[in-house]
Structure 1
Amino acid sequence: MNGNVDIVLEDDRWQAFGLEETALRVAGAVLTHLGLDPALFLTVVMGCDDARIAELNGEFRDKAKPTNVLSWPSEERASEYAGEAPALPDPGTTDDPAELGDIAIAWETCLREAEEQGKSQADHVTHLLVHGLLHLLGYDHVEDEDAELMEETERQILATLGIADPYWVADAQLG
């Protein structure tokens, strides 16, 4: 089952890519994996270019440079304890789904990273959307224990989508 996703396309290349379909599939996979009904939650995903995400990154993180994905949770959901999964959000209704937050993803950076890592753009974007949605749900990677939990959760979700472990690919290329 797919989740509810509002799409904002600031770069037309995301339309041809199929960002809306990918985001719907990711939202469904992430929420289902966590035991949540995707129909009861809403996420906003903006497909933009590097210039726009650099602007957002500067405004919200004081890093005025492009990045691959940014996320803004609608509320703080992180656990107090390193390595512990965040509390699950309260669901909305089918008529009024609970808002999880917003995600922005940048075309040029995603394409470049996929090429550098020898991955398809579709697989890389899917991974980044899973990553961004997990941030909306309170996961983070600041502490080592939290990073391990988040990466393992990403691996499990990506496997349900038929996508190989992105961390193994990156680790293998480093060695």
Structure 2
Amino acid sequence: MMKNKYDIRIDSLPPYPKKLWEEILVLFLGLLETHKNFSFKNCTLTLLVVKDNDMISYNKEQMNAYGPTNILSFPENDSKTVFIGKAQSAIMKNRSSLGTLILSIDTLLREAYLYGQNPQTHAVRLLAHGLAHLLGYDHGKEMWELTDFLEDNFSRQEYSHTITPFWSFTHG
């Protein structure tokens, strides 16, 4: 694994390993810098991993929606510098803070079970989706392409996470 050159702040409920979340995000940021002309130097990204009861509160307070959701994205808009994407959509670039992702571990595990997916595969998909929102993409073709790019390239990378995967813990 490459040495982490990014400022990634993770607040995760124990026993879910922060190192796994960090490795996924570091690989994503590296892929975006290498292949998509983004720069994350001196940029902060925050990830909160919560349970459904907390996600319900965030979803109601921030989105005026009832119930849990899998991931919420709150981009920071502290720069006027923009990157023009393929569809000429303005995407904020070179910000000091990308923003905050809030991920519900309960919803992630429930959805992985319902979709018949490996929970890590689903976690990668949700984080890629949330990161695309932080970069200014909205639901549509460009966002799905970026999410697919991150997910496909992540699966080709080797990462060094060696502690017990988060989905193997008893959950309740």
TM-score (norm: length of structure 1): 0.73
**Is 1:84 aligned to 2:87, yes or no?**
yes
> Does the aligned pair in 1 maintain the 2:108–2:122 contact within 8 Å?
yes
Q: How far off is 1:106 after superposition?
A: 0.5
Q: Please say if residues 23 and 45 of structure 1, whose CA atoms lie closer than 8 Å, have aligned partners that are also in contact.
A: no
Letter in 1 for 2:90: A
* 1: CA distance, partners of 2:88 / 2:115: 29
> Identity rate of aligned residues, in percent?
28
Cα pair 1:139 1:150 within 8 Å, conserved: yes
**Are 1:4 and 1:27, in contact at CA under 8 Å, matched by a contact in 2?**
no
Q: What aligned pairs does 1:43-122 form with structure 2 within 5 A after superposition?
A: 43-75=45-77, 84=87, 86-91=89-94, 98-122=96-120
* Distance 1:49-1:131 versus aligned 2 partners, 3 A rule: same
CA apart distance, 1:116: 1.4
- Per-residue deviation, 1:30: 3.5
Aligned-residue CA RMSD (Å) = 2.7
- Determine if contact 1:5/1:27 at 8 Å carries over to the other structure: no
Aligned residue type for 1:104: I
Deviation at 1:47, TM superposition (A): 0.8
What's 1:148 paired with?
141
Aligned pair count?
A: 149
Distance 2:40 2:54 in 1: 29
Cα shift readout 1:130-174 (whole Å, capped 9, x = no counterpart): 111110111011xxxxx11111121122111127xxxxxxxxxxx
Q: Which runs of 5+ in 2 are unaligned?
A: 157-172
User: CA distance change for structure 1 residues 90 and 148 in 2, over 3 Å: closer, same or farther?
Assistant: closer
Paired AA for residue 120 in structure 1: N
Q: For residue 131 of structure 2, what is the aligned residue in structure 1?
A: 133
Counterpart of 1:168? none
Quote the Cα distance in structure 2 between the aligned partners of 1:13 and 1:26: 23
Structure 2 residue aligned with 1:158: 151
Q: Is the 8 A contact 2:10 2:18 kept in 1?
A: no
Alpha-carbon distance in structure 2 between the residues aligned to 1:102 and 1:85: 25
Residue identity in the other structure for 2:34: T
SS of the residue aligned with 2:41?
Answer: helix
Tell me if the contact between 1:47 and 1:104 (Cα under 8 Å) persists in the aligned partners: yes
The 8 Å contact of residues 41 and 94 in structure 2, kept in 1 or not, is answered as no
